[in-house]
Amino acid sequence: MFTFSFWHKWIVTASFFMIFFGLSLVLFNQTPLFDMLFNRHINKVFWDENTMSPSLLLFQQWIYGTLGAVMAGWGVFMTVLSVHAFKNKDKWAWNGFMLGLLLWFATDTAVSLTFHVYLNVLINIILLLLFGLPLIFTRNHFNSTQT
């Protein structure tokens, strides 16, 4: 379909996107833009968003900040992995990407479905496609004799 180079650039770009989104979540999670696109959809699952107390808003800012920090760190890890070992077609890099992606998707999506946080399920599906497509289309480029 596309060349290895195309999919490599795709996964590097997606990894940078993860860093950007994570840092945005840390820095801007209580802004009107995040409120409109993110908070409002999640808040209504857990509480009446019209009566959120100042302490609840502080908790939300903290929990989204830590989530964003994890996402940014995950993005750095994926960027380094994709720029070096993935580019070199090291089989362990492909395996690490795929296993990590599938474990994250299955557990995060199961928790989100349990709590009826469907926006997060949608985001998970988008991220699965964003990172899964290059993995699927590059699988045959990795030497199966490497560990």
- pLDDT (tens digit, 9 = 90+) per residue, 23-63? 999 999 999 999 888 888 898 898 876 778 889 889 999 99
What pLDDT sits at residue 50? Answer: 73
Does the residue 147 lie in any domain? no
- Contact in structure between 71 and 20 (CB atoms under 8 Å): no
Q: What Å distances lie between residue 61 and 14, 35, 101, CA to CA? A: 25, 11, 26
The model carries a pTM of 0.88
Does the residue 21 lie in any domain? yes
What's the domain range around 72? 4-141
Does the residue 146 lie in any domain? no
What pLDDT sits at residue 52? Answer: 82
Residue type, position 81, single letter: L
Which among 2, 3, 19, 1 has a CA at the least distance from the CA of 81? 19
Instruction: Please count the structural domains in the chain.
Output: 1
Does the residue 75 lie in any domain? yes
Report helix, strand and coil shares of the chain as percent, to nearest 5: 85, 0, 15
Does the residue 125 lie in any domain? yes
pLDDT, one tens digit per residue, over 58-113 is 999 999 999 999 999 999 999 999 999 999 999 999 999 999 999 999 999 999 99
Asked whether residue 120 carries a pLDDT value surpassing 90, the answer given is: yes
- Position with higher pLDDT, 144 vs 39: 39
What pLDDT sits at residue 121? Answer: 97
CA distance 72 to 3: 28
Q: Chain-wide mean pLDDT for the chain?
A: 93
Would you place residue 145 in the very low, low, confident or very high pLDDT band (cuts 50, 70, 90)? low
Asked whether residue 3 carries a pLDDT value surpassing 90, the answer given is: yes
